Chain A
Amino acid sequence: MSKYYVTLADSVTQATTAFAALQTSPDGSTIQNVKVPMGMSRISTIACVLSPDVISVIDTGNNFTLQFSGAGMVDGIQELNAGALCNQETGTSVTGDLTFATAHYRDVNIRVKAGDVITLAAAYSGTDPGSPFIAVTLGFD
């Protein structure tokens, strides 16, 4: 459980095993970095959601990793698992698929420095799946 929550996301357009920053707020504005709110000393919750927003690239599977860096990270750069996407097809467009996923919230205990910034980035393993979205919520207290 956390007191204060921030959400960022982006379309993952980069090549495999390359980190790119997540900088789009849900209202469409760009946030270069997350400034650790005053009075907060740790990230206590992290939530992740993945989804393609157009046609999935068939026969691809990817594990996603989040990276936290910046002066706000007391113990330095850290990387966390963010889940996976997998799309498989036999034949050519033989059926459709409707998928729901709820956000995965989990407790963490990452020390941060109030007033300093954190840069959030994501990377994936495997074959380029297109440009799926990844959204991340950070909970501070």
Chain B
Amino acid sequence: MTQATTTFNAIETGADGSTAGAISVPREVTMIKSITASFAVNAAMVTNTGNIFVLRLTGTGALPDGQQDLVLGSMHLDDGAGTLTYTQNKIVVPVTIPVNIRLTGGSNLTLQGAYYGTDSGSPEISIELELI
């Protein structure tokens, strides 16, 4: 996520590195049953910054109830006012959100990500959708 605060950008890189673009919803699918997400900064995080991450579901005709935004979680690096040397290590458990969001089979669903707060660098965000 290289964009500025409160700005959505597409989440469209496959786990194999391919550019997947929008998700083609299988014709027999009618619903998102759950959303699972995690996030991390894959570089030196800017100190004294914090973000709250939000997922947007959008796509023409994909969502019968319209575009929707869900909050995922937050991240904060605090080192006070001094110049410090330290190492931090975190293992982050993903958040799983049970949902009941209607989908249109055969449509294209687009995932977008944004954050509130101060730019922390270029955090990466990963999303899993359970479709039924």
Contact = CB atoms under 8 A, between A and B. Distances in A.
Contacts of A101: 73-75
A4 to B, nearest CB: 5
Contacts of A1: 98-100
A4 B71 contact: no
A135 B50 contact: no
25 contacts: A2-B100, A9-B116, A26-B115, A37-B65, A47-B70, A47-B97, A49-B71, A51-B52, A51-B117, A52-B50, A53-B50, A53-B118, A55-B48, A93-B79, A96-B79, A96-B88, A97-B76, A98-B45, A100-B73, A102-B94, A105-B95, A133-B52, A135-B74, A137-B69, A139-B99
A3 B69 contact: no
Given A4-B101, A96-B77, A100-B75, A51 B50 contact: yes
B36 to A, nearest CB: 10
**Which bucket holds chain B's interface residue count?**
35 or more
Contacts of A7: 54, 69-71
Given A3-B101, A100-B75, A101-B74, A93 B80 contact: yes
Interface string B42-83: 000101111110101000000001101111111111111110
Contacts of B7: 27-28
Interface in B1-52: 5-8, 39, 45, 47-52
A51 B51 contact: yes
A105 B99 CA distance: 10
Given A51-B74, A98-B45, A105-B97, A5 B79 contact: no
Contact of B71 (A2, A56, A137): A137
A87 interface: yes
Nearest to A139: B99
Chain A CB count within 10 A is highest, among B71, B102, B117, for B71
Contact of B74 (A3, A24, A50, A89): A50
A47 B75 contact: no
A137 B70 contact: yes
Interface in A26-65: 26-28, 37, 47-56, 58
